[in-house]
Structure 1
Amino acid sequence: MNHLPPLITDLALILGAAAAITLLFRKLKQPLVLGYIIAGILVSPNFTLFPTILEVHNVQVWAEIGVIFLLFSLGLEFSFKKLVHVGGSSSVAATAEAVGMSVIGYATGQLLGWSFMDSIFLGALLAISSTTIIIKAIDELNLKKKKFATLVFGILIVEDIIAIAILVLLSTFTTTKQVVSIDTFISILKLAFFLILWFITGIFFIPSLLKKASNILNDEILLIVSIAMCLLMVFLTTQAGFSPALGAFVMGSLLAETTKAETIEHLVRPVKDLFGAIFFVSVGMLINLGMMAEYIGPILLITGVCILGKILTTGFGAFISGNTLKVSIQTGMSLAQIGEFSFIIAALGNSLKVTSEFLYPTIVAVSGITTFTTPYLIRASTPLFNWIEKNLPERLKTSLAKYSSEAVTLTSVSDWQKVIKEFLINLILFSVIIIAIIYLSAYYVLPWVGIYLDDSFGPVAASALTLLLMAPFLWGLTVRNEQTDSFARIFAQQKYKGPIWLMRGIKLSLALFFIIFLLSRFFSFAIALYAAVLMATLFSILRKKIQTLYDALEKRFISNLNDKELQEELKAMELQAGKRNAALAPWDAHLTTFDILPESAVIGKTLGELRWREQIGINIAMIKRGRLTITIPKKDDCIFPGDKLYIICTDVQEKKMNAILRPDKKLLESQKDIQVELEKFTIMHDSPFVNKTISESGIRKNATALVVGIERNGKRILNPESTTVLEVGDLVWIVEEKS
């Protein structure tokens, strides 16, 4: 008899139970996540009515992979640029919710008599709302276009990054056992450093790599490459001391900035669904129904605290950031639940053995209840606002409305504020890059160079190579922000001269510090100091070449960063042009495209000359020429090889256009064997060309030849004018067709 590994048996049991339960939940129109959790309860060792899992440890490994792909997919939907664009209102509301619920959760845990660590984790578990459940609920209620929905989506984006920070801080906190400590502060700085470094290097390399390999990237290869990048980043973050979830999220957010983001998201979704299902089933497996029944009181209390606390904290944050009372109430009631991130945080506490056994099933039960209540709370938000507005005193209503309107007033940013902002951003970004280069040099470049060179030349070669890599970024640190219009305007004002020279001193001092710090790793401090002065002089001499190198690096980075948005704008323009002209299309007309071949007879002609609209009755909606898009072209616009024409026409008109644009087959066939050759002949006394100009001779017209040169009395006339007179004894060079 063949032996079947227990892992396969367990996987069959997990997926079989998940499939059966989720089919039922889909029929009942309930969240599938709850179905997976119930499936986990049914196959867990705690529930003996059905067959149970044999090797729980292996399932936990699969579940960890599930967390990685869940966070990777979340990162693909995130992107760092979205975080910048969501605005201050979303950031304030999300921060108010996270901080407020952390405090309320901790206080609730202490009130219940729980341990310090359980209370801390309860606060973290209640701090983040469920992205999946909220988006699904708002979509099903057809509220995506409402003002509060836009604010909710912005809050969820900010919450994603807050959740990642919570995971990192909790990992540090469990070792130090102190809320505020030097280790916690170092962890925050370390997290910020690596996030900035990964963002810069990722945007610089990944889009370029995908773009260069685009001609060989099919769906299969792209999926493998994406997952490989994800797992590589998971490895790097783990080596750096962070959780695997952070690495998966960061790589997802980096790939989200590429033009392949939508394709990758589509390809990864089935993998995410599979491993995500196993993760949520594993969540259910850890639930002890007996323990849940024992803790029914705390479950109901925490559920009430979660719903009421999130309504108040999120609503308050939304209101103080300038939103109306109605939008604030709707926002608070939309975010009153917990979900997948809470499961991941609870799993972290469970894996680190720092939380009690009852916390996991308690939080899963709270999530289940709040998931069911979410759609009803969203529906009830407007009636609740109407009731509050009706019963509020008129004076208070006026004060609230006045605050909301004043909070949204636009503020202008002065040139000095812009210069300060650019100075700080430059200082942070370039310092991160330079520190990373120094670190790589000390721990990787020097040992590698030491293999091939002796101790006397190794440090010299390593330091020289490192300084070469640092050069463009040292230039960026010291000069980059002084090339803006705002800086030029500020520098022209006498009162800002002192602060500007102070900033210059800070930048130059920091640059010298980095050089001295690097060289002191290889040589004595005295040698490093002299070498730093020498390097500063050398940089000053070679500043133009260094600037050129830096400009090329920055241009590539900006191009990669904006490439996705550029492609989306082009698609939007195409779609807009199609919609605009489709509205003008007659009954059976449709929008179709025609590619202009290089052999087409229409090349070089204007639309006015071709008169297609008058003669055939078609409308040209758009001409796409490489990256250039011409919407609603005019009669003076010309047709070029490679153009793509977007034309509104009927089926009959489409056939006529195909006939017009198709190259003449007979002409193409007649051209197949034609060759051109360089020939020469001498003008004799009896030649008919004697004393005639080239144009009068008819050489071009009658012989289909072109006169390219004349040799006369030992002198050569290249490309003679058509008015040149042919004389006896001339040696005439011509180019003619040969069939």
Structure 2
Amino acid sequence: MIHIPQLIIDLGLILAVAAVVTLLFKKLKQPLVLGYIIAGLLVSPNFKLFPSITDHENIEVWAEIGVIILLFSLGLEFSFKKLIKVGGSSSITALVQIICMIALGYLTGQLMHWSQMDSIFLGAILSMSSTTIILRAFDELNVKNKKFAGVVFGALIIEDLVAIVLMVLLSTIAVSREFAGWDMLLSISKLLFFLILWFVSGIFFIPTFLKKAKVLMNDETMLIVSLGLCFVMVFLAGKAGFSPALGAFIMGSILAETRQGEKIEHLVAPVKDLFGAVFFVSVGMLINPSTLLDYIWPILIVTLITIIGKTFGTMLGALISGQPLKQSVQAGMSLAQIGEFSFIIATLGVTLKVTSDFLYPIVVAVSAITTFTTPYFIKASTPVYNWLEKKLPPKLINKLAGYSSATDSIRSVSDWRVVVRATVVQVIVCSVILTGVSLIASRYISPMFASGKNGNWIPLIITVVTILISSPFIWALAIRKIQPEKTIKLLSNAKYKTPLQVLQLIRILIAMFFVGMILNNLLSSYVAFGAFILVAIVIGFNYKKLQLVYDKIEQRFISNFNEKEKMQEKESGSHLAPWDAHMASFTLSPDFTQIGTTLNELQLREKMGINIVLIKRGNFTIMLPQRDERLYPSDILHVIGTDEQLETFRNYLQEHSKQTPVHVSTEDDILLQQMEVKKDSEFVGKTIKDSAIRERTKGLVVGIERDGNRILNPSSTLVLHEKDVLWIAGNRKRLRLLAK
């Protein structure tokens, strides 16, 4: 008889039960994650009616691999480019909500007489919302094209990044058992250092490597290479003292910036589904039904805290960020649940053995309850807003509307702030790279040759090579001109001359510090002092060569970072307006009854108030189509309107075709942007037509906000006044030039 390893038997049992349960959950239109958790409960020793798995240790290893693959996939969806595009509104919303829930969760745990560590982990767990649940609910309720959805998606991106930071901090607290601010500051600094180093080096090398190896790549090799890179970064993260999940997330986010990012995400999806299923089944295996009964009241209390706290925390953050009351209520009631990252943080507590046995099943139970309530809360958000609008004082409503409008306008940034910001970025990036080079040379390269022959020459050779590699970054740190045009302009003003000189002096001192640090780590003190002077002379005499080298390095990085955008010509196409006007996109069904009709005949603007600002037809893009433009099958229409207008348009498309209209993301170089007419603006006193805004931006003025009144689809003969806020749909680059 052939012996079958117990691991294979256990995996067969897990996958068979998971398959049956998830099919049932799919039929009931419930999240598959909950199905996996139920399957884990059924195959665990805590449930006696079914056979149980016996090889727990190997299943735990598979579950750890599942966490790594899940975080790698989340990184592929995350992308630092998305983080840059999120904007202040979603960032403030997410951070306020996270701070509120960490504090509220900790306070709740303490009031229930839990340990300090349980309370801290509870706060972190409750601060994370579920991307999977929200996406499913938004799809089912057809609200992806609503204005508040953009705020929610942006907040989820910020939550993903904060979750990574929390995992590092919680690991530090768990190991040290101390809550000293200095230790946490060191942990955050170490995390930021490695994030910058890995991201900069990853963007510089990996896209180039994938481009060079493109000829050799098929789907199979691309998958193997991607997972190989993932586990290499997992190893590096472990060596640096971080969790493996952090390394997986970072590599995913780096690969997301490459032109192969979407393909890699597609190839990794089946692997993620397999190992993710094992992970969530392992989550269910930790649930003891008797524990749930014993802690029924804490479960109900934590559930209420989650729903009420996350709703009001998100609302508060959205209002502070300048979102209107309606979108704040909708965003708050959308994020009132916990999900994937909550499980991962809870698993971290179990792995580190710092949380009590009851916390994990409580978290799972709360997640299950809030998952079921999420769609109902999203549906109820608009009626709740209508109720609040009637009950709140009119003065408060007007103040909130005014605050929202004021915070959402384009504001000019002073040249001084631009120069300081660019200088800080330059100093941080170069400092991280120089520190990384120094650490690699002194801690890894130098010890490898320490016991070899020619001991006096080896350190000198290593030092020379290290200085050669570091010299472009030393030059950039100390000498490179930052924002030269703005700097020259500021130098002509006596007010900024001395501060600029101080900034330059600080940069030179920092560069000198790094030269000294590198030499001191590799050479004796006396030799290092002499070498310091020599290095300074060499860098001074090779100024132009170093400039060329650094410029090439910088251009390579920028080219790799923007490679995906250049290939896809991808830009965000929806910027949000205070009165709920925003951009959405729809694909026309081939059986749409109005195919062949001109826009003039349809009278969409007159009937529904919407504006079609772009039509994408195959490989052709029609910017601001004329009224005699006809519609064709599978045209992608980019439409601007309010939530209600866009919903009316969607229903109109659905009524005139058999297939449901598909909402797609905007991927063209057009956006809806806000601009304030300044006192000295050339537009003051001119009509919209005479201002030539349409010609200069290849755009259209779709709205004006004036003295608290809102004018949608203004006439071309309307005269522009000082302090008017114009809403223009047009070419991104031209809009930026116009704003300047």
Q: TM-score, structure 1 length as denominator?
A: 0.77
Question: Contact between 2:419 and 2:483, CA under 8 Å: does it hold in 1?
Answer: no
In structure 2, what is the equivalent of residue 259 of structure 1? 259
Displacement of 1:202:
0.3
Q: 1:356 to 1:529 in 2, by over 3 A?
A: same
In structure 1, what is the equivalent of residue 399 of structure 2? 399
Q: Which amino acid aligns with 1:170?
A: L
Question: Contact between 2:13 and 2:43, CA under 8 Å: does it hold in 1?
Answer: yes
Any gaps of 5 or more consecutive residues in structure 2?
574-613, 636-668, 670-740
SS in 1 for 2:456: coil
Q: 1:286 to 1:529 in 2, by over 3 A?
A: same
Displacement of 1:261:
0.4
- In the alignment, the residues of structure 1 paired with residue 352 and residue 365 of structure 2 have an alpha-carbon distance, to the nearest angstrom, of 22
Question: Contact between 1:287 and 1:361, CA under 8 Å: does it hold in 2?
Answer: yes
1:478 corresponds to 2:463: no
In structure 1, what is the equivalent of residue 495 of structure 2? 495
Q: 1:587 to 1:526 in 2, by over 3 A?
A: closer
Matches within 5 A, 1:168-187: 168-187=168-187
Q: 1:374 to 1:523 in 2, by over 3 A?
A: same
- In the alignment, the residues of structure 2 paired with residue 255 and residue 151 of structure 1 have an alpha-carbon distance, to the nearest angstrom, of 25
Displacement of 1:481:
4.2
Displacement of 1:3:
1.0
Matches within 5 A, 1:437-456: 437-450=437-450, 453-456=453-456
Question: Contact between 2:616 and 2:622, CA under 8 Å: does it hold in 1?
Answer: no
- In the alignment, the residues of structure 1 paired with residue 402 and residue 337 of structure 2 have an alpha-carbon distance, to the nearest angstrom, of 31
1:75 corresponds to 2:75: yes
In structure 2, what is the equivalent of residue 619 of structure 1? none
Question: Contact between 2:422 and 2:482, CA under 8 Å: does it hold in 1?
Answer: no
- In the alignment, the residues of structure 2 paired with residue 395 and residue 515 of structure 1 have an alpha-carbon distance, to the nearest angstrom, of 61
Displacement of 1:448:
3.9
Q: 1:520 to 1:574 in 2, by over 3 A?
A: farther
Q: 1:400 to 1:266 in 2, by over 3 A?
A: same
- In the alignment, the residues of structure 1 paired with residue 630 and residue 359 of structure 2 have an alpha-carbon distance, to the nearest angstrom, of 65
- In the alignment, the residues of structure 2 paired with residue 586 and residue 112 of structure 1 have an alpha-carbon distance, to the nearest angstrom, of 66
- In the alignment, the residues of structure 1 paired with residue 203 and residue 622 of structure 2 have an alpha-carbon distance, to the nearest angstrom, of 37
SS in 2 for 1:199: helix
Q: Which amino acid aligns with 1:76?
A: L
Q: 1:132 to 1:451 in 2, by over 3 A?
A: same
> Deviations along 1:121-157, whole A, 9 cap, x unmatched?
1111101101111111112211111110000000000
Q: 1:403 to 1:585 in 2, by over 3 A?
A: closer
Displacement of 1:526:
3.6
Q: 1:288 to 1:559 in 2, by over 3 A?
A: same
Matches within 5 A, 1:422-433: 422-433=422-433
- In the alignment, the residues of structure 1 paired with residue 358 and residue 399 of structure 2 have an alpha-carbon distance, to the nearest angstrom, of 46
In structure 2, what is the equivalent of residue 14 of structure 1? 14
> Deviations along 1:226-267, whole A, 9 cap, x unmatched?
000001101110111111110110000000000000100000
SS in 2 for 1:47: coil
Matches within 5 A, 1:412-423: 412-423=412-423
Displacement of 1:404:
2.0
Displacement of 1:181:
3.2
Q: 1:232 to 1:575 in 2, by over 3 A?
A: farther
- In the alignment, the residues of structure 1 paired with residue 66 and residue 632 of structure 2 have an alpha-carbon distance, to the nearest angstrom, of 50
Question: Contact between 1:426 and 1:481, CA under 8 Å: does it hold in 2?
Answer: no
In structure 1, what is the equivalent of residue 201 of structure 2? 201
Displacement of 1:87:
0.5
In structure 1, what is the equivalent of residue 519 of structure 2? 519
SS in 2 for 1:77: helix
Matches within 5 A, 1:231-270: 231-270=231-270
- In the alignment, the residues of structure 2 paired with residue 73 and residue 105 of structure 1 have an alpha-carbon distance, to the nearest angstrom, of 28
Q: 1:349 to 1:589 in 2, by over 3 A?
A: closer
Q: Which amino acid aligns with 1:311?
A: T
> Deviations along 1:59-101, whole A, 9 cap, x unmatched?
1111111111111000001111111110011111111111100
In structure 2, what is the equivalent of residue 5 of structure 1? 5
Work out the number of aligned pairs and report it.
592
Question: Contact between 2:617 and 2:634, CA under 8 Å: does it hold in 1?
Answer: no
In structure 2, what is the equivalent of residue 682 of structure 1? none
1:145 corresponds to 2:126: no
1:537 corresponds to 2:533: no
SS in 1 for 2:562: helix
Question: Contact between 2:76 and 2:256, CA under 8 Å: does it hold in 1?
Answer: yes
Displacement of 1:488:
2.3
- In the alignment, the residues of structure 2 paired with residue 483 and residue 393 of structure 1 have an alpha-carbon distance, to the nearest angstrom, of 49
1:190 corresponds to 2:190: yes
Displacement of 1:506:
1.1
Displacement of 1:179:
2.7
Matches within 5 A, 1:544-563: 544-563=544-563
Q: Which amino acid aligns with 1:309?
A: G
Displacement of 1:178:
2.6
Displacement of 1:522:
3.2
In structure 2, what is the equivalent of residue 313 of structure 1? 313
Q: Which amino acid aligns with 1:271?
A: V
In structure 1, what is the equivalent of residue 712 of structure 2? none
- In the alignment, the residues of structure 2 paired with residue 281 and residue 449 of structure 1 have an alpha-carbon distance, to the nearest angstrom, of 48
In structure 2, what is the equivalent of residue 734 of structure 1? none
Displacement of 1:50:
0.6
- In the alignment, the residues of structure 2 paired with residue 537 and residue 139 of structure 1 have an alpha-carbon distance, to the nearest angstrom, of 64
In structure 2, what is the equivalent of residue 568 of structure 1? 568
In structure 2, what is the equivalent of residue 279 of structure 1? 279
Q: 1:204 to 1:580 in 2, by over 3 A?
A: closer
Q: Which amino acid aligns with 2:334?
A: S
In structure 2, what is the equivalent of residue 667 of structure 1? none
SS in 1 for 2:78: coil
- In the alignment, the residues of structure 1 paired with residue 208 and residue 488 of structure 2 have an alpha-carbon distance, to the nearest angstrom, of 33
Q: Which amino acid aligns with 1:100?
A: C
- In the alignment, the residues of structure 2 paired with residue 588 and residue 232 of structure 1 have an alpha-carbon distance, to the nearest angstrom, of 49
Any gaps of 5 or more consecutive residues in structure 1?
592-628, 630-739
- In the alignment, the residues of structure 2 paired with residue 523 and residue 218 of structure 1 have an alpha-carbon distance, to the nearest angstrom, of 48
What percentage of aligned pairs have identical amino acids? Answer: 54
Question: Contact between 1:70 and 1:272, CA under 8 Å: does it hold in 2?
Answer: yes
Displacement of 1:588:
11
- In the alignment, the residues of structure 1 paired with residue 476 and residue 615 of structure 2 have an alpha-carbon distance, to the nearest angstrom, of 38
Q: 1:249 to 1:578 in 2, by over 3 A?
A: same
In structure 1, what is the equivalent of residue 227 of structure 2? 227
Q: TM-score, structure 2 length as denominator?
A: 0.77
Matches within 5 A, 1:453-464: 453-464=453-464
Mark the structure with the bigger radius of gyration: 1
In structure 1, what is the equivalent of residue 411 of structure 2? 411
Question: Contact between 1:475 and 1:547, CA under 8 Å: does it hold in 2?
Answer: yes
Q: 1:42 to 1:589 in 2, by over 3 A?
A: closer
In structure 1, what is the equivalent of residue 387 of structure 2? 387
In structure 2, what is the equivalent of residue 32 of structure 1? 32
Matches within 5 A, 1:1-150: 1-150=1-150
In structure 1, what is the equivalent of residue 720 of structure 2? none
> Deviations along 1:30-84, whole A, 9 cap, x unmatched?
1001100000110000001011111111111111111111110000011111111
Question: Contact between 2:118 and 2:355, CA under 8 Å: does it hold in 1?
Answer: yes
In structure 1, what is the equivalent of residue 715 of structure 2? none
Question: Contact between 2:615 and 2:622, CA under 8 Å: does it hold in 1?
Answer: no
520-529 or 459-468: which moved more? 520-529
SS in 2 for 1:360: helix
- In the alignment, the residues of structure 2 paired with residue 483 and residue 325 of structure 1 have an alpha-carbon distance, to the nearest angstrom, of 39
SS in 1 for 2:214: coil
SS in 2 for 1:215: helix
In structure 1, what is the equivalent of residue 691 of structure 2? none
Q: Which amino acid aligns with 1:179?
A: F
- In the alignment, the residues of structure 2 paired with residue 370 and residue 483 of structure 1 have an alpha-carbon distance, to the nearest angstrom, of 50
Displacement of 1:444:
2.3
- In the alignment, the residues of structure 2 paired with residue 586 and residue 314 of structure 1 have an alpha-carbon distance, to the nearest angstrom, of 43
Displacement of 1:479:
2.6
Q: Which amino acid aligns with 1:231?
A: F
Q: 1:543 to 1:15 in 2, by over 3 A?
A: same
> Deviations along 1:429-476, whole A, 9 cap, x unmatched?
000000111111112222344466512212211111110010111111
Question: Contact between 2:615 and 2:621, CA under 8 Å: does it hold in 1?
Answer: no
- In the alignment, the residues of structure 1 paired with residue 295 and residue 381 of structure 2 have an alpha-carbon distance, to the nearest angstrom, of 30
- In the alignment, the residues of structure 2 paired with residue 527 and residue 439 of structure 1 have an alpha-carbon distance, to the nearest angstrom, of 19
